[in-house]
Structure 1
Amino acid sequence: MADALADAVAAIAREAAAMAHARSATDFARSEKIDGSPVCQVDLDVDAMLRARLSALLPDAGWLSEETADAPDRLSRERVWVVDPIDGTRDYIRGRPGWAVSIALVEHGRPTIGVLDAPARGEIWRATAGGGATLNGASIHVGGRVDFPGSRVPTDSLPKVDRDLVAVEKPNSIALRIAMVAADRADLVATLRWGNEWDIAAAVLIAAEAGAAVSDALGAPLRFNKPDPRAFGVLASTPGIHAAAVERLSDRAKVILAA
């Protein structure tokens, strides 16, 4: 049953991704939200399509999406769709490939199905709770790095305090960056800001099922479908460097939280 549901979710994600990809070169409307983040008409259209299709798949499930006004009734639901119709909108608008459709099914606060469909990269990432993670149908596993210095991090630049790390490709989508850890394309992804559940829910499951250690920026477990659907940062890494990463981030995290 779980595999059949995951297959259905992946098919819906594939349809949504194909729709977004087909419109990526068209003259779609775009604007900025109050917080300065970009949004475009394709975001909204994909969101509407996903809500219709996923709600038909599980009529009893709640809904939490970047592009839909939040409704408190989701808190009373055992299952909730947590969706970002286009994670990495900046790359999408600029014609770059670092974006993905992100869908997670959350049950009792934990993701049980996660799908990232990145058509411009030719990548379909999937995971089910207890069932492992795949990229384009092949099983993926986190790397075995145990030494923090030299860890690969998806970034455009490294702060002076992190010069002992190695910069690798950085898609705009945080979900895809987390997935890179799952596939041993990176050793560490970390953010130090308040982030939204829809950005990370699917990718967190993919990384965890691939064997990664995943937490918030302070090392605490992540929970989903909370009244305030945010977490302070995300940290995904090989298990062998997770504690060192938390230690490296702790002072900066405390300064940000105290501000």
Structure 2
Amino acid sequence: MTDLAAEVAAIAADAGALAMRQWHTDFRRWEKSPGNPVCAVDLEVDAMLRERLSALVPDAGWLSEETIDNADRLAGDRVWVVDPIDGTRDYLRQRPGWAVSVALVEHGQPVIGVLDAPARGEVWLARAGQGAWRNGERLRVAARDTLAGARVPADALPQVDADLVTVEKPNSIALRIAMVAAGDADLLATIRWGNEWDIAAAVLLAREAGAAVTDAFGGALRFNTPNGEAFGVLATAPGIHAAAVERLAERARAGVKR
């Protein structure tokens, strides 16, 4: 597993370098749907990752933001779950809050997770049962046990959460989850249906750093599901997770009905 994780990290680094070379160039960009941007670099990085990761583990299926889904992935025990550029908005705005996100999922759970964030000079790596690192430094979640004062990566918070504290918010949700893993934030929550490729690698990073990670209701997350989605993600310092679930419960119940 250690050797395989290192190979995955090397491939993700090459993908990050490819994205960096084109970051300030004139490339094609458009919207897949209103408010959902994509660019030619997303597709180029996706193609490179698929070729090299599939060669590395030939029996693994494929689930990526930039590839048409194929139900064949559900028949196998292993699948690559990939977002070639997580945080495309920041990539297009020439802001550094984006990353290449790669996870290898086995039997519904990530066992290798890599975030390569070259614009930030960061390489994040986690192996199931073996810990999580940023640039070679072992990660550990913050030891917070009260919800009030918890640091949240957000531009702004609703009045009901005025007792929380906003910190830097990269556009990449994977990087925001990773901030919890590193102890740079205490809580990250989404209350909507989201895609597995956005969170798979970062969920493993957070778990291996000691964070509590669930869906928006506090339930277990599972990957390589038929629709490739989960309802929300909640990553927190373990001492505040129950309080965060309780605070978000009404909003989660309202959101899941939409």
Same fold (TM over 0.5): yes
Structure 1 segment 107-256 matched on structure 2, within 5 A: 107-256=106-255
* Distance (Å, rounded) in 1 between the aligned partners of 2:256 and 2:97: 29
* Distance (Å, rounded) in 1 between the aligned partners of 2:148 and 2:250: 18
1:67 paired to 2:66: yes
Gaps (5+ residues) in structure 2? none
Task: Give the Å deviation of 1:152.
Answer: 0.2
Task: Give the Å deviation of 1:254.
Answer: 1.0
Q: What amino acid is aligned across from residue 120 of structure 1 in structure 2?
A: A
SS at match of 2:179: helix
* Distance (Å, rounded) in 2 between the aligned partners of 1:254 and 1:234: 14
* Distance (Å, rounded) in 2 between the aligned partners of 1:257 and 1:96: 32
* Distance (Å, rounded) in 1 between the aligned partners of 2:227 and 2:156: 31
Provide, for residues 112-166 of structure 1, a one-character-per-residue CA deviation record: whole Å limited to 9, x for no partner: 0000000000000000000000000110100100000000000000100000000
Provide, for residues 213-232 of structure 1, a one-character-per-residue CA deviation record: whole Å limited to 9, x for no partner: 00000000100000011001
With structure 2 as the length reference, what TM-score do the two structures score?
0.99
* Distance (Å, rounded) in 2 between the aligned partners of 1:4 and 1:258: 44
1:33 paired to 2:32: yes
* Distance (Å, rounded) in 2 between the aligned partners of 1:36 and 1:75: 29
Q: What amino acid is aligned across from residue 86 of structure 2 in structure 1?
A: D
**Structure 1 residue aligned with 2:97:** 98
* Distance (Å, rounded) in 1 between the aligned partners of 2:84 and 2:256: 29
1:82 paired to 2:85: no
Q: What amino acid is aligned across from residue 258 of structure 1 in structure 2?
A: K
* Distance (Å, rounded) in 1 between the aligned partners of 2:174 and 2:33: 23
Q: What amino acid is aligned across from residue 232 of structure 2 in structure 1?
A: G
Provide, for residues 175-219 of structure 1, a one-character-per-residue CA deviation record: whole Å limited to 9, x for no partner: 000000000000000001100000000000000000000000000
Aligned residues of 2:193 and 2:256 also touching (Cα < 8 A): no
Percent identical among aligned pairs is: 69
* Distance (Å, rounded) in 1 between the aligned partners of 2:35 and 2:75: 31
Aligned positions, number:
258
Runs (4+) of structure 1 exceeding 6 A deviation are none
* Distance (Å, rounded) in 2 between the aligned partners of 1:36 and 1:123: 27
**Structure 2 residue aligned with 1:13:** 12
SS at match of 1:22: helix
Task: Give the Å deviation of 1:35.
Answer: 4.9
RMSD (Å) for aligned C-alpha atoms: 0.6
Q: What amino acid is aligned across from residue 248 of structure 2 in structure 1?
A: L
Aligned residues of 2:215 and 2:233 also touching (Cα < 8 A): yes
Deviates more, 1:34-43 or 1:214-223: 34-43
